[in-house]
C-alpha cells in the first residue's frame, strides 16, 4: 500500500488561486502554509499508520464503554497536546484563533490520513461555534476551554429511530428539574457517542420542550460526567450498541439512551433547530472535505500504481505502463478532476463563510459543496478500483476501504437528495431567492470567458424553469447537477488560466481542458432534462 501523502501543494494552490483566501483580512499565506506543513507531517507520521489496522480491529463495546482500536488514544493525546483540537477556538478560551479556512486545510488532510479518527474528533469546532453563538458568557468560559484543550470531545445527538430527517418527529423529552434539565429518550447514529480517548464528552442534544412541532425543540448540553472530569460520576447516558457498519470501523457510531440525564439549555427555548444548524452547517462543509480527501487519496494511490505497473503494449509495440493507455489515462484524469474541482468549491464556500460578507451565497454553496464533495469521494474510489483491476478489489491497496469509508458522506449530515431538494424547492423562491441571486452574481464574477457567458445563460434559464414549476422536487436532482457543472465550468476555466503557476502545469492544463470539453457538451442536455 502506498503510504499516505498529504496533497499540500494542491490544497494551497487552490486556496490561493480558486478559493480567494487572499481577500481575508490579515491572511498570511506563508504562515498558513507553515501551519499546514506541520499538520501534514504529523498526519503522515502519526495518524495515517492507524488507518488500516484501525479498520481491521474496529471499536468494541466492553462493559458499557467503547474501547477504541490500539494506538488511537496515544495519537489523540499527541494531537490534543500539540493544540490541534483548539485550532479555531478563540484565544481567550485557550484556542489558537485560526479560523475556519485553516481548519479546512487540516480537516481535509486529517480525513485523508484517517477518516475514522477525524470523524470522532472533528465535531469539536462546530460545538465551539455553537456555544460561542448561543451560550451565555458563563457557559463559554466553562465549556469551551476543555473542548479547545482536547480534554473533551463533542457529539451531535439529533437523530432518533423514528425521526431521521423529519425533525418534527423528535420525541426525546427535556423537563426542568431545579436549576437544570432532565433529558429522556433515545438517539441513534451518534458518531463518537462514547470513546476512551478524552476525559469527557460534550453531547449537544436536540430535545422537545413543548409540543409545537419544530418550534418545540431546544438544544441542550449534556456532559457524560456530571463534573466534567474523568473520575466524576457518570451521567445517566447509556451506550446500548455500536452500529456494525460498511466502513469507518474505527469510528464508534453509537445508539444512546438518556434516562433523565442532567443537562443545561443552550440558547432560548424553542431555538434548538436554529442552534443545531450552526453545528450542522459546519459539519456539512466538513463532510464535503471528507469526500475531497478520499478523492485525492484515490488519485495518489491509483496514479502511483498505474505509473509503475507494466501492462500491454503501446502503438509502437513496446511494453508500456498502465497510465499510457487512453482509457486508463481518462480515468486517472477524472479522479484528479473530482478532487481538484470539489476542493475548489469547498474552499470558495469556506472563504466566503469566514469573510462573513455574503451569507446568502454561503447558504446556496453549502448544499452544492456537500453533494459534489461527497459524490466525488465515492466516484473517485470506484474509478481507482477499476484502474487497479483485481488488485483494486483487494485490501492491499486500500481503495476498497476508501470506497467503504467514503460511501457514508452522501448519506449523513443530510442525504444528498435532501440538499438537492432544498436547492430547488426552498432557495429559488420568495425571500430565499436572494441566495440564488447571490450565486448568480458570484458566477458572473468567476470568469469573463465568452464561453462561460453562454453557460451562465443556460443556468439562468434552468433557474427560471425550476422556480416556475408547481412542484420543483422532480427537477431537484437535475438542477443540482446543472448548478454544479455551471460552477465547475468557471472553476476549470480559472484553473486553465493559472496552470503555469502550479508545480505540474501540464497535468493541471490537461485535466482542465478535458473537463471544459465535458461540461460544455453536457450542459445543454441538463437544461433539456429540466424543460422536459
List the grid coordinates of 90: 478563540
- Crossing angle of the two packed helices 272-308 and 399-406, in degrees rounded to 10: 160
The region that residue 195 occupies, defined by phi over 0 for left and psi between -120 and 50 for alpha, beta otherwise, is beta
- The DSSP secondary structure of 424-481, one letter per residue, reads IIISSSGGGHHHHHHHHHHHHHH---HHHHHHHHHHHHHHHHHHT-SS-GGGHHHHHH
Identify the residue whose cell numbers are 465550468. 489
The residue annotated as part of the active site, out of 354, 400, 413, 425, is: 413
Extract the runs of DSSP E, i.e. beta strands, from 98-159. 152-157
Q: Are 118 and 110 in contact (CB under 8 A)?
A: yes
Contacts of 142 (CB under 8 A, 6+ apart): none
DSSP secondary structure code for residue 16 in this structure: I
C-alpha cell, 480: 443540482
DSSP string, 40-56: HHHIIIIIGGGHHHHHH
- Tell which residue, 465, 454, 463, has the closest CA to residue 489: 454
What are the two backbone dihedrals, phi and then psi, of residue 170, each rounded to the nearest 5 degrees? -60, 130
How far, in whole angstroms, is CA 310 from its chain's centroid?
36
Q: Using alpha carbons, list the distances in angstroms from residue 357 to 14, 20, 94, 360, 391.
A: 21, 13, 27, 9, 48
User: Is 186 known to be catalytic?
Assistant: no
DSSP reduced 3-state for 489: helix
CB atoms within 10 A of CB 334: 17
CA distances from 238 to 109, 296, 398 (A): 33, 38, 34
From residue 130, alpha-carbon distances to 7, 84, 180, 350 in Å are 30, 19, 19, 17
CB atoms within 10 A of CB 234: 12
| SS3 sequence of 160-206 | ECCECCCHHHCCCEEEEECCEEEEEEEEEEEECCCCCCCCEEEEEEE
∠268-271-96 over CA atoms, to 5°? 80
> Quick one: which H or E segment has residue 118?
helix 100-121
Catalytic residue numbers read 413
Amino acid at each position: 500500500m502506498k503510504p499516505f501523502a498529504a496533497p499540500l501543494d494542491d490544497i494551497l494552490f487552490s486556496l490561493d488561486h480558486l478559493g480567494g483566501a487572499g481577500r481575508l483580512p490579515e491572511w498570511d499565506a506563508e504562515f498558513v502554509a507553515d501551519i499546514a506543513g506541520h499538520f501534514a507531517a504529523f498526519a503522515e507520521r502519526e495518524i495515517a499508520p492507524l488507518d488500516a489496522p484501525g479498520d481491521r480491529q474496529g471499536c468494541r463495546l466492553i462493559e458499557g464503554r467503547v474501547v477504541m482500536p490500539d494506538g488511537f488514544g496515544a495519537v489523540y493525546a499527541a494531537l490534543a497536546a500539540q493544540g490541534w483540537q483548539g485550532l479555531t477556538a478563540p484565544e481567550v478560551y485557550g484556542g489558537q484563533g485560526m479560523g475556519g479556512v485553516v481548519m479546512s486545510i487540516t480537516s481535509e488532510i486529517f480525513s485523508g490520513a484517517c477518516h475514522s479518527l477525524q470523524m470522532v474528533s472533528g465535531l469539536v469546532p462546530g460545538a465551539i461555534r455553537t456555544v460561542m453563538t448561543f451560550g451565555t458568557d458563563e457557559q463559554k468560559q466553562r465549556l469551551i476551554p476543555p473542548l479547545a484543550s482536547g480534554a473533551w470531545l463533542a457529539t451531535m445527538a439529533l437523530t432518533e429511530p423514528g425521526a431521521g430527517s423529519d425533525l418534527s418527529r423528535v420525541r426525546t423529552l427535556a423537563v426542568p428539574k431545579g436549576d437544570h434539565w432532565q433529558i429522556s429518550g433515545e438517539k441513534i447514529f451518534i458518531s463518537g457517542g462514547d470513546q476512551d480517548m478524552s476525559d469527557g464528552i460534550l453531547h449537544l442534544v436536540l430535545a422537545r420542550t413543548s409540543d409545537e412541532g419544530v418550534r418545540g425543540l431546544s438544544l441542550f448540553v449534556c456532559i457524560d460526567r456530571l463534573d466534567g472530569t474523568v473520575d466524576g460520576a457518570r451521567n445517566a447516558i447509556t451506550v446500548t450498541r455500536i452500529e456494525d457498519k460498511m466502513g469507518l470501523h474505527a469510528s464508534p457510531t453509537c445508539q444512546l439512551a438518556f434516562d433523565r440525564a442532567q443537562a443545561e439549555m443552550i440558547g432560548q427555548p424553542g431555538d434548538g433547530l436554529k442552534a443545531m444548524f450552526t453545528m450542522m452547517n459546519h459539519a456539512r462543509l466538513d463532510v464535503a472535505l471528507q469526500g475531497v480527501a478520499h478523492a485525492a487519496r484515490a488519485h495518489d494511490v491509483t496514479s502511483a500504481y498505474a505509473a509503475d505497473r507494466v501492462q500491454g503494449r503501446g502503438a509502437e509495440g513496446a511494453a508500456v505502463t498502465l497510465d499510457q493507455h487512453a482509457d486508463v489515462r481518462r480515468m486517472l484524469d477524472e479522479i484528479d478532476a473530482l478532487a481538484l474541482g470539489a476542493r475548489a468549491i469547498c474552499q470558495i464556500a469556506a472563504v466566503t463563510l469566514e469573510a462573513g460578507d455574503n451569507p446568502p451565497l454561503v447558504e446556496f454553496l453549502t448544499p452544492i459543496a456537500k453533494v459534489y464533495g461527497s459524490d466525488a469521494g465515492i466516484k473517485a474510489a470506484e474509478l481507482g478500483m477499476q484502474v487497479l483491476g483485481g488488485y483494486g478489489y483487494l485490501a492491499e491497496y486500500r481503495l476498497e476501504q476508501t470506497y467503504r469509508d467514503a460511501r457514508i458522506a452522501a448519506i449523513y449530515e443530510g442525504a444528498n437528495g435532501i440538499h438537492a431538494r432544498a436547492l430547488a424547492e426552498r432557495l429559488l423562491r420568495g425571500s430565499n431567492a436572494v441566495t440564488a441571486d447571490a450565486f448568480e452574481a458570484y458566477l458572473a464574477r468567476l470568469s469573463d470567458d465568452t464561453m462561460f457567458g453562454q453557460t451562465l445563460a443556460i443556468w439562468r434559464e434552468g433557474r427560471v424553469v425550476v422556480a416556475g414549476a408547481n412542484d420543483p422536487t422532480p427537477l431537484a436532482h437535475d438542477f443540482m447537477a446543472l448548478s454544479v457543472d455551471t460552477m465547475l465550468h468557471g472553476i476549470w476555466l480559472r484553473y486553465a488560466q493559472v496552470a503555469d503557476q502550479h508545480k505540474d502545469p501540464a497535468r493541471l492544463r490537461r485535466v482542465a481542458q478535458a473537463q471544459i470539453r465535458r461540461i460544455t457538451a453536457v450542459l445543454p442536455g441538463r437544461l433539456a432534462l429540466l424543460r422536459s
